[in-house]
Amino acid sequence: MSNYWPWWAGAIGLALVAINYTLTTDRFLGVSSAWDRVLHWRAERRIERMDEQFSDDRALAEALAAATAEHFGTGPAGPTGPGAGSGGAPAPGPAPAPTTRETAPVTRLRPAPLFTQAVLLLSIFVGGWIAAATAGRFELRFDMGDGFREIVTGNPVTMIVTLFIGGVLVGFGTRLAGGCSSGHGLSGCGRLQPVSLLATAVFFGAAVVMSFLLWKVI
C-alpha cells in the first residue's frame, strides 16, 4: 500500500509554493523558464550586470530624453535657428503642459534574479529527496516503476534512452507552448489567463489520451 499524500494536501502545498514565490520575487512561478536561465547562466549574468548599471528607470529615461533634446535641438534650451529669439533663447510663449508620458514614472519588469531561479530548482530536488526519504521510498533506479517496465521491456540502457527521448519531447513541447505545467497550470490558470487555460487543457488532455492508449489499447 503506497503512502502518498492526500490530493488536497498536495493542492494546498502547490498553492502555497506558487503564492509564496510570487510574493517573494514579484514574479510568477515557472520551472521551465528557470531551467532555461540557469543553463544559460553566463549570458544571464551579463544581462544582470547591465541592468544593475541602469537600475533607476526614471533616471535612465530622463537621461535619454535630455540627450535626444540636445541632439535634435529641442527641449528646454530651445532651437537655435531662425525665430529662436535673442541669444538663442526660446521665443516667448506659453509653456506646454506636461504630458502623462513626461510625468508618469517609467517602470520595467525585470526577470527574477538568477540566484532565485537556481534556488528554486535546487529546492525541487531537495524537497523531493526529503519527501521520499521520510516516507521510506527513496531509491535510485533507472525506470519509472513497475508500470513503466511492463510497457518498456528491455535492459536499463533501453529504458534510459526512452526516458531521454521523452524528456527531449517534453522540453520541445514546453518551449512550443511558452511554458510548462507550473507556469501555465499554477501561475497562468491562477490568473485566469486564456492562453494558460488552453495550454493546461492540452497538457492534461494529451496525458489522459496517452494513458488510455498505453493501458487499454497497447
Q: Split the chain (218 residues) into runs of 10 and give each run's mean pLDDT.
A: 73 86 79 82 78 66 79 59 47 50 49 79 88 81 72 74 86 83 84 88 88 74
The pLDDT assigned to 217 comes to 67
Specify the long-range contacts of residues 150-153, CB closer than 8 Å, at least 24 apart.
151/214, 151/218
**207-216 core/surface letters (b: 16 or more CB in 10 A; e: else):** eeeeeeeeee
Domain ranges within the chain, ordered by starting residue: 49-103
The pLDDT assigned to 191 comes to 82
Closest of 142, 183, 166 to residue 35, by C-alpha = 183
The pLDDT assigned to 77 comes to 46
Please give the Cα distance from 93 to 50 (Å, whole number): 42
